[in-house]
Amino acid sequence: MGETAEFVARAAGSQFNSGRVELRRVPYVGDKQQICDIVEEARGFKAVIAYTIVIPELKEELLRLTETYKIPTVDILGPMVEAVAEVTGTEPKLEAGLLRKLDEQYFRKVEAIEFAVKYDDGKDPRGLDYADVVLVGVSRTSKTPVSMYLAHKRIKAANIPLVPEVAAPEELFDITSKKIFGLTISPQLLNEIRQERLKTLGLTANADYANLERILKELDYAERIMKRIGCPIIDVTNKAVEETASTILELYYKGERYV
């Protein structure tokens, strides 16, 4: 919240042409000793202390000291918090740094979304080492949508397609199996999904991609890779993306956190 007080102070200072207004910003004030140090420094100048402190004991200490030394103060956040409390009929949390925490969560989400896009569909296996979660499975097992859903939960997810003709990247066997999750599906449903996919692309549904025998071969290959890795295998048959992601999150948070 130090930025808030600084912005308001600069705006106020810009209204005065008779002299230069100097600003001294002290962020993350967390104890009474810091309050004492700030007030002691302010005593040496013609100072106004503008603050956004919400923790009651720190605010009380600041007001006690500034009253003792006759230093003007401006509570930038307090009146707004009190007005919102009155209108909503609820009590404020009075916790420091809540906005900063929200900002950090937002930027972690953006970073996770960018990560999911960059390392989607095996684009760059080097990203597996930096992922929180790695999804593996054959085509059309919801790897990409699940990755994006996890990203909105601030989880960096990469995904790797498993295709019999293409060797799985070596990086997949170098990372811990605890962050790898295999996705599988019933052959019949996958056959239907792939046929519909071909239709949307304007291709014939008889292509090898949607051939049941081919699908069985792919699923068998994928299962062998997953068993070699030793990762959990989640059946996504008739599961919504949210259900699959929730299962992964549950397993993820039960296990160790990875670096």
Domain hosting residue 110, numbered range: 102-254
133 and 68 within one domain: no
Question: Residues 70, 1, 80, CA angle at the centre, nearest 5°?
Answer: 75
pLDDT digits (tens, 9 = 90+) for 86-142: 888 887 776 666 656 656 788 899 899 999 999 999 999 999 999 999 999 999 999
Is 81 annotated for ligand binding? no
Give the max Cα distance, the chain.
87
Is 151 among the domain residues? yes
207 and 107 within one domain: yes
Is 19 annotated for ligand binding? no
245 and 189 within one domain: yes
Domain final residue, candidates 79, 96, 113: 96
Task: Say what the pTM is.
Answer: 0.64
Q: What confidence score (pLDDT) does residue 101 get? A: 61
Is 18 annotated for ligand binding? no
Is 259 among the domain residues? no
Contact 168, 156 (CB under 8 A): no
Is 77 among the domain residues? yes
Is 53 among the domain residues? yes
Given a cut of 80, whether residue 146 has pLDDT beyond it is yes
Least confident of 3-12, 70-79, 235-244, 245-254: 3-12
Is 199 annotated for ligand binding? no
For the chain, the domain total comes to 2
Phi, then psi, of 233 in degrees rounded to 5: -115, 120
Is 70 among the domain residues? yes
Phi, then psi, of 17 in degrees rounded to 5: -100, -10
Domain final residue, candidates 44, 78, 96: 96
Is 14 annotated for ligand binding? no
Contact 132, 189 (CB under 8 A): no
